């Protein structure tokens, strides 16, 4: 209900003549309508101001007017003329009007909104629609898979996974008695995160579960090269049993068997968390760590083994084995027994050889596909 509809009800409300049901309804309406509530407050203020005035009765002009009217000539008789009585009639009318105004003052009207007096707002015409800008679609570069099988030889499972194919996370790979599997880990990272570059070689009878940024070594031996020289690399995680090892740069050989885990760090370092509440251990370059149910032991690597199994990468200075250095199997006798089968230097790509008389073939196979 608008303010215009409530004007008379507001006046009756202030005069006390509004019935009780309508009075209750009007009070409820004013509590929810700010416009009517403001009008009621203004009318109440004016009503209180007028109630304080002293009302005096105006002069009684009835008798003089009737006396003068009685002396008017009868119709048909010439009178004294209209101008004679004009001042008297005008004065009486003015006095009567003033008395009526004092007796019945007009109720104050509602305040008008300045925007209503200014007239309707002028809406500017809509601007003509501009032609849509067509942005040419540029195909996003296709990132390489984070993990793929770079090379395989002998027998392995699952046999359906062929070299060059991506390896889904969670895939369990196992090299057969004469098989080897080489994986490449390549994640491009982001502007705020380093890249992951790693090459992993699983030797015969080794099984591991492939993960996006690492692997879970279940049994056997794995040779790893993590990172690229001179460039930061994301952490690479190797899980083994109840523990795990993390490294960002390094050349590492890990062996997992029934007696525990053994890792040899040729370059870089390894952050080892043995698990079962044991204190983490940092293994530096040219050190070997053995984790068994009873102890965690770090020893210096045998100089002969460290020299013979140090990888030769493109750009590295050539290394020459010292005279009488012996075979890699003899040099690695302190790392694990018996010595694992390695790839022969004369064998073709993807062939395995149980002869461990040369370490160069293993190094070349492990790092041949790693990007520089």
Mean model confidence pLDDT for the chain: 71
Q: Where are the alpha helices (H) located in 244-313, listed in sequence order?
A: 303-308
**Which of 236, 235, 234, 205 shows the shortest CA–CA distance to 222?**
205
**Statement: residue 228 has pLDDT above 60:** yes
Query: Confidence band (pLDDT; 50, 70, 90) for 234?
Result: confident
CA angle 249, 186, 286 (to 5 degrees): 20
170: left (phi over 0), alpha (psi -120 to 50) or beta: left
Q: How far apart are CA 37 and CA 25, in angstroms?
A: 13
Query: Confidence band (pLDDT; 50, 70, 90) for 344?
Result: very low
**Comparison of pLDDT for 281 and 334, the residue scoring more:** 281
Q: Which two tokens stand for residue 158?
A: 């699952």
**Strand 180-187 vs strand 296-300: parallel, antiparallel, or unpaired?**
unpaired
Give the model's pLDDT for residue 217.
93
Q: Which two tokens stand for residue 232?
A: 């930061």
Q: How confident is the model over 158-163, as a mean pLDDT?
A: 88
**Statement: residue 337 has pLDDT above 70:** no
Q: Which of 1-10, 13-22, 278-287 has the highest mean pLDDT?
A: 278-287
**Comparison of pLDDT for 258 and 353, the residue scoring more:** 258
Give the model's pLDDT for residue 144.
54
Whether the Cβ atoms of residue 250 and residue 267 lie closer than 8 Å to each other: yes
First to last CA, the chain: 83
**Statement: residue 170 has pLDDT above 80:** yes
159: left (phi over 0), alpha (psi -120 to 50) or beta: alpha
Give the number of other Cβ atoms within 10 Å of residue 317's Cβ.
5
Whether the Cβ atoms of residue 202 and residue 173 lie closer than 8 Å to each other: yes
Q: How far apart are CA 18 and CA 8, in angstroms?
A: 10
**Statement: residue 69 has pLDDT above 50:** yes
Q: How confident is the model over 227-244, as a mean pLDDT?
A: 81
Give the model's pLDDT for residue 136.
59
Query: Confidence band (pLDDT; 50, 70, 90) for 321?
Result: very low
**Statement: residue 161 has pLDDT above 60:** yes
Give the number of other Cβ atoms within 10 Å of residue 343's Cβ.
27
| 323-329: long-range pairs with CB below 8 Å, 24+ | 327/356, 327/357, 328/356, 328/357, 328/358, 328/359, 329/356, 329/357
CA angle 274, 270, 263 (to 5 degrees): 70
Q: What is the pLDDT of residues 71-126, one digit of tens each?
A: 877 665 555 555 566 776 787 788 888 777 777 666 665 555 555 555 556 666 66
Q: What is the pLDDT of residues 299-320, one digit of tens each?
A: 998 765 655 554 443 334 454 4
Question: How many residues are present in the chain?
Answer: 372
Whether the Cβ atoms of residue 176 and residue 154 lie closer than 8 Å to each other: yes
Q: Which residues contact 214 (CB under 8 A, 6 or more apart)?
A: 236, 237, 238, 239
b/e map 253-268, b = 16+ CB within 10 Å: bbbbeeebbbbbbbbb
Integer-rounded Cα radius of gyration of the chain: 53
Q: How confident is the model over 207-223, as a mean pLDDT?
A: 89
Q: What is the pTM of this model?
A: 0.48
Q: How confident is the model over 341-353, as a mean pLDDT?
A: 34
Q: Where are the alpha helices (H) located in the chain, listed in sequence order?
A: 3-15, 20-32, 34-51, 62-70, 82-103, 114-117, 303-308, 328-331, 360-367
Q: How far apart are CA 275 and CA 270, in angstroms?
A: 15
b/e map 99-131, b = 16+ CB within 10 Å: beeeeeeeeeebeeeeeeeeeeeeeeeeeeeee
Q: What is the pLDDT of residues 239-254, one digit of tens each?
A: 988 888 888 788 888 8
Burial, 149: exposed, middle or buried (Cβ in 10 Å; 0-12, 13-18, 19+)? buried
Task: Give residue for tokens 């100089």.
Answer: 303
Query: Confidence band (pLDDT; 50, 70, 90) for 219?
Result: very high
Q: Say whether 32 sits in a helix, a strand or coil.
A: helix
């Amino acid at each position: 209900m608008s303010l215009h509809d409530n004007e008379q009800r507001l006046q009756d409300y202030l005069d006390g003549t509004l019935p009780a049901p309508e009075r209750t309804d009007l009070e409820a309406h004013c509590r929810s309508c700010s416009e009517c509530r403001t009008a009621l407050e203004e009318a109440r203020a004016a009503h209180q101001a007028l109630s304080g005035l002293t009302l005096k009765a105006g002069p009684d002009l009835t008798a003089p007017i009737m006396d003068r009217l009685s002396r008017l000539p009868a119709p048909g008789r010439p009178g004294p003329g209209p101008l004679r009585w004009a001042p008297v009639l005008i004065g009486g009318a003015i006095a009567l009007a003033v008395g009526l105004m004092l007796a019945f003052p007009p109720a104050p009207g509602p305040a008008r909104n300045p925007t209503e007096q200014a007239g309707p707002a002028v809406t500017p015409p809509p601007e003509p629609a501009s032609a849509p800008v067509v942005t040419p679609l540029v195909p996003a570069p296709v990132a390489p898979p984070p993990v793929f099988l770079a090379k395989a030889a002998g027998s392995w499972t699952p046999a359906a996974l062929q070299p060059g194919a991506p390896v889904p996370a969670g895939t369990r790979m196992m090299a057969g008695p004469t098989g080897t599997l080489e994986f490449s880990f390549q994640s491009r990272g982001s502007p705020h995160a380093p890249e992951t570059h790693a090459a992993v070689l699983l030797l015969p009878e080794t099984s591991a579960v492939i993960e996006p940024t690492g692997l879970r070594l279940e049994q056997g031996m794995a040779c790893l090269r993590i990172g690229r020289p001179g460039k930061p690399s994301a952490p690479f995680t190797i899980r083994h049993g109840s523990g795990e090892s993390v490294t960002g740069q390094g050349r590492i050989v890990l062996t997992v068997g029934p007696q525990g885990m053994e890792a040899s760090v040729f370059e870089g370092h390894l952050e080892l968390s043995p698990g079962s509440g044991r204190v983490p251990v940092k293994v530096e370059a040219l050190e070997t760590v053995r984790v068994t149910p009873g102890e965690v032991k770090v020893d210096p690597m045998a100089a002969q083994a460290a020299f013979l199994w140090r990888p030769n990468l493109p750009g590295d200075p050539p290394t020459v084995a010292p005279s009488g250095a012996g075979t890699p199997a003899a040099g690695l006798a302190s790392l694990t027994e018996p010595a694992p089968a390695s790839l022969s230097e004369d064998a073709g790509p993807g062939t395995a050889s149980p002869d461990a008389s040369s370490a160069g073939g293993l190094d070349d196979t492990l790092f041949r596909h790693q990007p520089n």
